[in-house]
Amino acid sequence: MTYTWDFHSVWQYRDLFMWGLWISVVYTVGSIVFGVLIGFLTCSMRLSGWRMLSFIARVYQEIFRTTPLLVQLLWFYYAFPLLVGGNIDNRVAAMLTLSLYVGAFYAEIFRGGIVSIDKGQREAAAAIGMSPWQAMHRIILPQAFKRMLPSFINQSVIQFKNTSLVSVISVADLAYMAAVVNGQTYRPLESYTVMAVLYIAMLLPMTQIADWVEKRLRVSD
């Protein structure tokens, strides 16, 4: 049989797609911002030299890195409110979970970048009288930053894809809107193809940038 594509009916819902795309971008950027803060804090705790702080940070990281994001979303939306007695807004649950999830990975990327810097750098900084803080932000971080950048971009690209899971707790992102359009038009092929194309259109430039950055950094090393 031959299928007759009909994008016309789907086109009528272009505003829904655009709105969904916008929501996906908001959750991606929002969770990246919060994730960077969480990752920075977690990484500081891991490197603080305080056993207890380091242990807490480690436990958090392992929990969020060893459970699927989908499981985390379901848990925060359906289980967490029962635990604390109350309700949680699905959008809050989505943003919270996405941030905690990516923060655990960012923390590891930051930590990996910092510990990969030769200890001679810290010593040379200390030898000219720098405080540990001065050594960190003048000498260690600028070098570590270059090393962590490719993994950071990579993780952020993955994060954009991950936001599609928030649709399972009814956050109206791009994936959710595609399902809505499909419900209205009974055109699954068109609805979901448009969704896929929009994801590609968003992410292709980002993966290109990631590759370009990685190549640039390798040359400058």
Partner 1 sequence: MTATSLSAAPAPVIEAIGLRKTFGHHEVLKGLDLGLARGEVVALIGPSGSGKSTFIRCLNRMEAPTGGEIRFRQKRVRDGFRDRGEDLGIGTLRRHVGMVFQHFNLFPHKTVLQNVTEGPVIVCKRPRREAEEEAMALLEQVGLAEKHSAYPNHLSGGQKQRVAIARALAMRPEVLLLDEVTSALDPELVGEVLAVIRALAEAGMTMAIVTHEMAFAAEVASRVLFLDQGVIAAEGSPAEVILEPTNPRLQAFVARFKG
Q: Which residues are near partner 1 by CB under 8 A? A: 118, 120-121, 123-132, 134, 138-139, 142-143, 146, 221
Supply the minimum distance, in Å, between the C-beta of residue 17 and partner 1: 44
Give the nearer residue to partner 1 in terms of CB position, either 104 or 135: 135
Supply the minimum distance, in Å, between the C-beta of residue 211 and partner 1: 23
Give the nearer residue to partner 1 in terms of CB position, either 142 or 205: 142
Supply the minimum distance, in Å, between the C-beta of residue 125 and partner 1: 8
Structure tokens at 3: 């299928």
Structure tokens at 47: 């490197």
Supply the minimum distance, in Å, between the C-beta of residue 72 and partner 1: 37
Give the span between the Cα atoms of 200 and 21, in whole angstroms.
12
Maximum CA pair distance of the chain? Answer: 78
Q: How many CB atoms lie within 10 A of CB 43?
A: 23
Give the nearer residue to partner 1 in terms of CB position, either 15 or 221: 221
Give the span between the Cα atoms of 62 and 60, in whole angstroms.
6
Q: Is 13 exposed, middle or buried (0-12, 13-18, 19+ CB in 10 A)?
A: buried
Supply the minimum distance, in Å, between the C-beta of residue 115 and partner 1: 17
Give the span between the Cα atoms of 200 and 107, in whole angstroms.
27
Give the nearer residue to partner 1 in terms of CB position, either 5 or 145: 145
Give the nearer residue to partner 1 in terms of CB position, either 124 or 196: 124
Overall size of the chain counted in residues? 221
